[in-house]
Amino acid sequence: MLSLATKFIPIRTAFETTVESGFQAAEFWLDPAVLAKADNVSKLASEFPLRYALHFPNSGPITEETLRSTIALYKGVNATATVIHQPMFDRYGKTLLELAPDLDLAIENHVLNLDQFDRWADQSPGLTLDVEHLWKFTLHDAPFSTLLEHLDRFLNRSAGKLQHVHLPGYLPGQDEHQPIHFNELLASEVITRLAAHGFSKLVVSELAAEFQTLEYLQRDVQMFDRWRATANLPAPATTA
């Protein structure tokens, strides 16, 4: 069963707020300084009943030790995937996979036209689908029905390679990285399709810093609970 996740820098207060809000999962925002403390992050993460995914640093300096720490953290928290941007995959993906062939690297789509989006889906070993990027940058705020058509086409072709999903509550013409509950129709339509294709990893409400509060996180969880009730799915088990 897929899990709704939030995204944060892995510090104790962020873990505590995430659990208090009712989230079941989290994606770690990482940089080389955080990865230098990978063992401490793993120990901290083990204190909380959450599923985890990693987001590989978007910039350097990236050393071999950074790569090894990424793999250690991935294994230490039993991560569902490691999200990575295309330029960083081009630079470091080969080495990461040589060091850990079982690493689920999931390349994220960014500012791509339709042909580039198809090549990203076809050529990448693993995928992070950012629905907001698809709608805003690839489809240029096309009608909602057009977004769903392209989403269906993508899932029919590439669901087997999908490792991770970013799903903020995007509304055409508005800012990026808003809470998922800001567009509940989008969230429900996307999550329903993911579930139908058997997706069982993390769907992330990727929030700007201003929205990373207990109130907004709780509203995201409430939205997900409404979707789960409509889909007649049981509440997820919690870990004592």
| Residue 47 near residue 29 (C-beta atoms within 8 A) | no
Domain ranges of the chain: 3-230
Q: What is the pLDDT of residue 68?
A: 97
- Domain 3-230 = CATH 3.40.50.300: no
- Asked if residue 61 has a cis previous peptide bond (ω within 30° of 0), the answer is yes
Q: Which of 94, 102, 56, 97 is nearest to 78 (CA)?
A: 102
Q: What is the pLDDT of residue 54?
A: 98
Beta-carbon contacts of residue 193 (< 8 Å; ≥ 6 apart): 148, 151, 152, 155
Measured in degrees and rounded to the nearest 5, phi and psi for residue 227 equal -60, -45
CA dist 9 and 29 (Å) reads 5
For residue 152, is pLDDT > 90? yes
Q: What is the pLDDT of residues 49-101, one digit of tens each?
A: 999 999 999 988 899 999 999 999 999 999 999 999 999 999 999 999 999 99
Closest CA to 51 of 99, 7, 9, 100: 7
Tokens of 96: 């990461």
What is the pLDDT at residue 60?
81
Crossing angle of helices 86-99/64-76, nearest 10°? 70
pTM above 0.85, yes or no: yes
pLDDT in tens, 97-127: 999 999 999 999 999 999 999 999 999 999 9
